[in-house]
C-alpha cells in the first residue's frame, strides 16, 4: 500500500532518490533503474494505481520504494513529505523532476486561458516552490537536482507548453549558476524523443518504434551524472 507523507518506508539503502512524476514514462524508468542499483526511491505522483504498479516492478526486482500519491501542486502535503524525508534520512541524494503539465497544442492566438494557467502553475510556480523545499535536503547530502529540457520553446502550436517549460528551465539554469560552488549540483538533461503518453498526445500517429525507449534514456542520462 502507498505510504503517506508521514509514514515513509524503512530502508537500508545508502542513496535516496525522490522522483516527482514517477508513475510513468521517464520518471518511472529512472525509478526502476535506480532501485535496481540499490537506491531507495520516493515516488511522487497523483495516480495511485500506476504508483502501485511501479512499486510491484521495483519489489519484484529486489528494490525498495516509498509511494507518495500526492499532487505536487498542493503545498501542504509536499511540505509534510519534505519534513518526513528530513526526519527519516536527513536529506536527498537525487531529486528528478519529471512532473509536467502538457496543455493541448494550439495556435498562440487560440491558447485556452485555463490550460495556459495550469501550465504556468505546474511548470513554473510549482517548480519554484519545490526548489525552495528540496534545496536544503539536497545540500544536506551533497545531492543532485535533475531537470529535463525538451526544447519546445518557439515551436509552432507549443505556446503553452513551450513558454512555461522554457521558464522552468530558465529558473533551473539560474539555480545551477547560483549553486555551482556551494551545491546542490543542478543538472539539465536533454532527453531524446521517447514513446511517452505526453508525446503521443502531441504527435498522434507517429511511428513510435523509431523513438528512444524510456529505459535507455534513463540509463544514458543517469550514467552521465551518477
Please check whether residue 46 lies inside any domain of the structure.
Answer: yes
> Which residues, at least 6 apart from 93, have a Cβ–Cβ distance to it below 8 Å?
15, 16, 17, 39, 141, 143, 144
Q: Quick check: is 136 in a domain? A: yes
Q: Are strands 144-148 and 64-69 parallel, antiparallel or unpaired?
A: unpaired
Residues 128-143: pLDDT tens digits? Answer: 999 999 999 999 999 9
Give the SS3 label for residue 207. Answer: coil
Instruction: Identify the pLDDT of residue 3.
Output: 43
- Is 4 a domain residue? no
In a domain, 5, yes or no: no
- Please state, in angstroms and rounded to a whole number, the distance separating the CA atoms of residues 47 and 210: 28
Cβ distance 179 to 186 under 8 Å? yes
**8 A C-beta contact, residue 72 and residue 47:** no
Q: Is 79 contained in some domain?
A: yes
Torsion over CA: 182, 76, 8, 123 (sign): negative
Q: How many domains does the chain have?
A: 1
- pLDDT at 80 (0 to 100): 98
For residue 166, being part of any structural domain is answered with yes
57: in domain:
yes
Q: Which pTM was predicted?
A: 0.92
Query: Taking the chain, what is the end-to-end CA distance rounded to the nearest angstrom?
Result: 30
Q: Residue written as cell 519545490?
A: 130
Residue 188: inside a domain, yes or no? yes
Q: What angle do CA 61, 63, 68 make, to 5 degrees?
A: 120
- CATH number for position 175: 3.40.50.720
Stretches in the chain below the pLDDT threshold 70: 1-13
Q: What is the DSSP letter of 203?
A: S
Domain of 216, in residue numbers = 16-223
Amino acid at each position: 500500500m502507498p505510504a503517506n507523507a508521514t509514514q515513509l518506508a524503512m530502508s537500508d539503502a545508502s542513496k535516496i532518490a525522490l522522483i516527482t512524476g514517477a508513475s510513468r514514462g521517464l520518471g518511472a524508468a529512472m525509478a526502476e533503474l535506480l532501485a535496481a542499483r540499490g537506491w531507495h526511491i520516493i515516488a511522487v505522483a497523483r495516480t495511485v494505481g500506476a504508483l502501485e504498479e511501479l512499486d510491484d516492478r521495483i519489489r519484484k526486482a529486489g528494490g525498495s520504494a516509498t509511494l507518495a500519491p500526492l499532487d505536487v501542486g498542493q503545498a501542504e502535503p509536499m511540505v509534510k513529505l519534505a519534513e518526513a524525508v528530513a526526519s527519516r534520512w536527513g536529506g536527498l541524494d537525487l531529486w528528478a523532476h519529471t512532473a509536467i503539465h502538457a496543455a493541448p497544442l494550439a495556435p498562440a492566438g487560440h491558447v485556452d486561458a485555463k490550460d495556459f494557467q495550469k501550465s504556468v502553475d505546474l511548470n513554473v510556480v510549482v517548480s519554484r516552490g519545490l526548489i525552495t523545499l528540496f534545496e536544503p535536503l539536497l545540500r544536506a547530502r551533497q545531492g543532485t537536482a535533475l531537470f529535463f529540457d525538451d526544447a519546445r520553446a518557439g515551436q509552432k502550436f507549443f505556446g503553452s507548453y513551450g513558454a512555461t517549460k522554457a521558464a522552468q528551465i530558465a529558473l533551473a539554469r539560474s539555480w545551477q549558476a547560483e549553486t555551482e560552488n556551494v551545491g546542490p549540483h543542478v543538472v539539465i538533461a536533454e532527453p531524446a524523443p521517447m514513446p511517452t503518453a505526453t508525446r503521443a498526445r502531441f504527435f498522434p500517429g507517429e511511428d513510435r518504434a523509431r523513438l528512444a525507449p524510456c529505459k535507455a534514456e534513463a540509463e544514458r542520462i543517469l550514467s552521465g551524472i551518477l
